[in-house]
Structure 1
Amino acid sequence: MTPTDLPVLTIDGDRVDDLESFTREFSTFLDDHTWRGNLDAFNDILRGGFGTPEGGFVLRWVNSDRSRQTLGWDATIRWYEENLKVCHPDNRADVRARLDRARKHEGTTLFDWLVDIIRIHGPGGRESEDRVHLDLR
């Protein structure tokens, strides 16, 4: 159940073609800050203090099924391929293994990662005090 006492921020999946466009869409909610797509930074942003409403909010993701597709396996494979180019040499074997799994459609996708990060900050999540409620539509 979505709380009615919290502000609603809406992402339109019809405007999400990749992680960059999701990043751009979400950054419109931030004051004087631009999120550049780093997933650790996204987690930090959801804790507050970057311009999202204090006291929590509902993140309503309309047309989320389209985003599930556009942030699916192809986008995840591209993300791993790019990450492989810049990651620390000690991490390359792990990234390569994850890339191989993604190519077999095993594991989780970028869409799954974003949803999981958001849910950490909502009901039942380990940082639920942030009161970020995900409403997938």
Structure 2
Amino acid sequence: MLNTSNNNTRKMIVINGGHFSSLAGFYEEVSDILMSGADWKVGTLDGFNDILYGGFGVFEYHEEIEIVWKESEKSKEDLGLKATQEFYENKIRQGKPFNIELMQQKLENLIAGSGQTLFEILVEIIESHGDITLRLD
């Protein structure tokens, strides 16, 4: 959902965790919201990072926006340890073009409790963009 009423000139974009329960579902949600009218969809973490720069979706390059992630606790669970473990196991199983050693290390770190979940990775990607404010609801 895109709310065109601005908070301090920031466009508000709402991601609804109730609309998805997997990484593929997250990609579908953000594609529908952030890439409305575009002819391609997000399908990777790198692709998600790329669209957050703006300029080819619903907001412009360097435009200040606020992303509100509703039902973020549900997403934190859905995109938590189990989903992340499956994500890395699938990459390892697929092999090239993925860096198997890196994926194995990330999986081992996750299991040891020192790795990031998919939810944490997505939050970090959003927060790495200085023009974007993230609010977890």
Q: Distance in 1 between matches of 2:91 and 2:70?
A: 28
Q: What is the TM-score of this pair, normalised by structure 2?
A: 0.82
Aligned to 1:114: 122
Decide which moves more: 78-87 or 64-73.
Answer: 78-87
Q: 2:74 matched to 1:69?
A: no
Aligned to 2:134: 134
Q: Distance in 2 between matches of 1:36 and 1:6?
A: 23
1:1-137 to structure 2, matched below 5 A, reads 3-29=7-33, 30=35, 31-54=37-60, 55-88=63-96, 91-121=99-129, 128=130, 131-137=131-137
Paired residues of 1:27 and 1:33 also in contact (CA < 8 A): no
Structure with a larger share of its residues in strand: 2
Q: 1:107 is paired with a residue of what secondary structure?
A: coil
The percentage of aligned residue pairs carrying the same residue is 33
CA RMSD of aligned residues (A): 2.0
Q: Quick one: higher RCO (CA 8 Å, sep 6+), 1 or 2?
A: 1
Paired residues of 1:12 and 1:61 also in contact (CA < 8 A): yes
Deviations 1:48-82 (A, max 9, x none): 12213121311110110110010000110111011
Q: What is the TM-score of this pair, normalised by structure 1?
A: 0.82
Distance 1:97 1:61, change over 3 A: same
Paired residues of 1:73 and 1:105 also in contact (CA < 8 A): no
Q: Distance in 1 between matches of 2:7 and 2:97?
A: 45
Q: Offset at 1:90?
A: 8.1
Unaligned runs of at least 5 residues, structure 2: 1-5
Aligned to 1:125: none
Decide which moves more: 84-93 or 24-33.
Answer: 84-93
Unaligned runs of at least 5 residues, structure 1: 122-127
Q: Distance in 2 between matches of 1:90 and 1:10?
A: 32
